[in-house]
Homo-oligomer: A and B are copies of this chain.
Amino acid sequence: MAKHTADSLGGAVLIRGTGLLGTSIGLGLSKAGAQVYLSDPSPSAQAVAVDIGAGAPLGEATTDPAVVVIAAPPDVCAAEIADALQRYPNAVVLDIASIKVALLEDLQKRVAAGELTAEQLSRYIGCHPMAGRERSGPVAARGELFTSMPWVICRRADVQEAAVNAALEIAHTLGASVSYMDTADHDASVALISHLPQIAASLVASRLQDTRPESLALAGNGLRDVTRIAASDPSLWVQILSGNAPRIVEILYGVREDLNRLINTMENPTGPGARLDIAQLMSEGNTGHARIPGKHGAPPQAFTKVTVIVDDTPGQIAALLADIGRIGINVEDLRMEHSAGHQVGMVEVAVVPGVRDTLIESLTEIGWKVVQ
């Protein structure tokens, strides 16, 4: 990956909003040599971000910023963008909210109402860095947060090329992987690949509220995987889901249709065609799943899995992976099997299919118990 510095930003960067993402951007840009200023409505959040080296407080700025990054919650993003476009007449303004259509519509309304000019709006470019984590706030921020993660730039016909270039420069400086997408396509895409899984996880997890502990004790990786993101922050997701509601609801109609068909079938599971109906849903799931790209953009399911039994003591997995490294094989993915109450575990290692037999043979020779 080419190393980027912040030389070509053409001036200072102001980051408005010093939560997890804003502070992480500040840290990354500061490390790359950019002059970064920070502001946040919460003085303590701003102070923490300054203290950990994400930038200087805005009060110290002697000139106007060349780029303003709006890292505010979705709900206040449009007002923040409009304010920055007016306040800094020469700056590129970009935001990093995870939904874009409603935001742009809000800004376009402000143009129609004469509150913003078309020139001002042409300096705004929407971005969506697809990075995040379970913790929030500036304390959790790290400059490497965006390394290798997708960063969508939402190009528009009315946006200045300088704005696109500034967004590209910032994304590259942070080590992110840029793709371009139309605003509407972006929101439709995230409705499907991000918002729908979130809703499904919450719907399934919600059913567990009154389950007896004995039943939950049987939970395996299937339930854990499907519900993992159900632990997400409700207040953020309320803003995302309501902000992207028109795109999401279209997808939910399709889910409801499938669910109704399945319920009708399962109310009479021995009726004519019932099994075919169930098989069809399952096989449609197979088809959809197979389309998700693999790691490194490799074809889906390009890796084969080998399961090894390990004691659950410090260093065991390390020893296993060290042995695999010595054999000269790259681990493409790794999962630990969970089951409650056990001191012996299984580790599932994904490798390219060509090395599978070598791996199994070599590990077995060294004394590892290989399940597959």
Contact = CB atoms under 8 A, between A and B. Distances in A.
A141 to B, nearest CB: 9
Interface string A340-356: 11111110000000000
A106 to B, nearest CB: 12
Nearest to A322: B318
A314 interface: yes
A226 interface: yes
A111 interface: no
Nearest to A189: B215
Contacts of A260: 256
Interface in A265-300: 266-267, 269-270, 274-275, 278-279, 281-297
Interface in A197-216: 197-209, 211-216
Stoichiometry, as copies per complex, reads 2
Contacts of A307: 133
A142 B371 CA distance: 6
Given A215-B192, A330-B314, A241 B200 contact: no
A81 B291 CA distance: 41
A202 B149 CA distance: 27
A206 B245 contact: no
B202 A301 contact: no
Interface in A296-336: 296-297, 301, 305, 307, 309, 312-315, 317-326, 328-331, 333-336
B145 A238 contact: no
Interface string A112-137: 00000000000000000010011100
Looking at A245, A254, A255, A336, which has the most chain B CB atoms within 10 Å of its CB? A245
A217 interface: yes
A77 interface: no
Contacts of A200: 200-201, 203-204, 226
Contacts of A253: 263
Interface stretch (A39-47, A162-170, A228-236): A228-236
Contacts of A262: 199, 203, 252
Interface in A155-211: 175, 177, 179, 181, 185, 188-190, 192-194, 196-209, 211
